[in-house]
Structure 1
Amino acid sequence: MSATAAHVVKPGWFTVNVMNRAVAWLTRRGVSVWGSRVLAVRGRKSGAWRTTPVNVLTLDGARYLVAPRGHVQWTRNMRAVGGGELHLGKQVEAFTATEVGDDAKVEVLRAYLKRWKAEVGVFFAGVGPDSTDAELRAIAPKHPVFRIASAADDDA
């Protein structure tokens, strides 16, 4: 993995202990905060379920998970296991995930930043929804993107 690909921005105390917990608490009770879900993915080493709040982006009929903080644990686990679950209240959706290549991320990153820049913009090094394709392409290796599909759709 290159130095760029190893990009990780660890969350601070307030994010971990206040914001993530608050969003996860609401989401587990069925209140989606701007599209939030609780992502559950099995650990690549332990096999234990790991959870974190995420924003699900829908773009042109496809759904995506974007990692604004870079190559964090959930992205490594997702690569290893190829899917997980999205929780909203009592609804649980199993899904499969396919990682999107850097060249195909530009429009996904643009749409993600358009929707959630106020929340996550600080993690994108000054690049925003109005940035050029070249600027978005330059940061693409730092931010994993997964296209997700309902496991029920895969069985059909």
Structure 2
Amino acid sequence: MTSSTRPYVRRPWIARAVGDRLAPRFRPALVRRLSVPGRVTGRWRTTPVAVLDHGGASYLVAAFGVTDWALDLRASGRGRLTRADGRASFEIIATEVPVTERGPVLAAYRTSFGSAPGVAGAFRALPDPADHPTFRITP
């Protein structure tokens, strides 16, 4: 699947330009930096993410669809999460949640993070749970 055919919603410019810089300052407990080895080059790539704690487990949800970080995490099954302030970092193992089990996790994600710029719109544009790679993460 090429980037032009995969289900993906481009994040609003305000989220990319401002939110990625300000969210860690105002909500440091919420924002993490996810580093994942690239699926083609193996070069580590980093992006801001929100970790969802739900039902005693932790999850990463690709709210904007099949993103590069989700494809990289799907390919490698591992990554590194760093606190927004950089004080703590730990390795993770990521297991993709089957599409049939994503419903409750996606509902919890929308409740917790639906007010973040673009998230509600992304779920309206991509209502199918298959369009939102979801990973259960463990240290």
Normalised to the residue count of structure 2, the TM-score between the two structures is 0.85
**Runs of 4+ displaced beyond 3 Å:** none
Structure 2 CA distance for aligned equivalents of residues 126 and 12 of structure 1: 13
Identify the residue that residue 35 of structure 2 maps to in structure 1: 40
Give CA-to-partner distance per residue, 1:67-124, whole Å, 9 cap, x none: 1100010001001111101101220010000001111001001111111111111111
Matched AA of 1:118: S
Query: Following the alignment from structure 2 to structure 1, what is the Cα–Cα distance between the partners of residues 81 and 13?
Result: 24
Q: Distance in 2 between matches of 1:78 and 1:97?
A: 7
Gaps of 5+ in 2: none
Cα distance in 2 for partners of 1:47, 1:123 equals 29
Deviation at 1:126, TM superposition (A): 7.3
Higher helix share: 1
Shift of 1:11: 2.2
Aligned residues: 132
Q: Confirm or deny: 8 A CA contact 2:9 2:125 kept in the other structure.
A: no
- The aligned counterpart of 1:142 is 131
Unaligned residue ranges in structure 1 (runs of 5+): 128-137, 151-156
Give the RMSD, CA atoms, in angstroms: 2.1
Q: Which residue of 2 aligns with 1:49?
A: 44
Q: Does 1:62 find its partner at 2:57?
A: yes
- Percent sequence identity is 36
Q: Pick from 91, 97, 104: which aligns with 2:101?
A: 104
Instruction: Give the aligned residue type for 2:100.
Output: D
TM-score normalised by L of structure 1: 0.77
1 CA distance for matches of 2:44 and 2:102?
Answer: 27
Give the deviation of 1:22 after TM superposition: 2.7
Q: Say if 2:113 is the partner of 1:116.
A: yes
Structure number with higher relative contact order (C-alpha < 8 Å, ≥ 6 residues apart): 2
Provide, for residues 19-70 of structure 1, a one-character-per-residue CA deviation record: whole Å limited to 9, x for no partner.
113335x39xxx625x211111111112111111111011111100001100
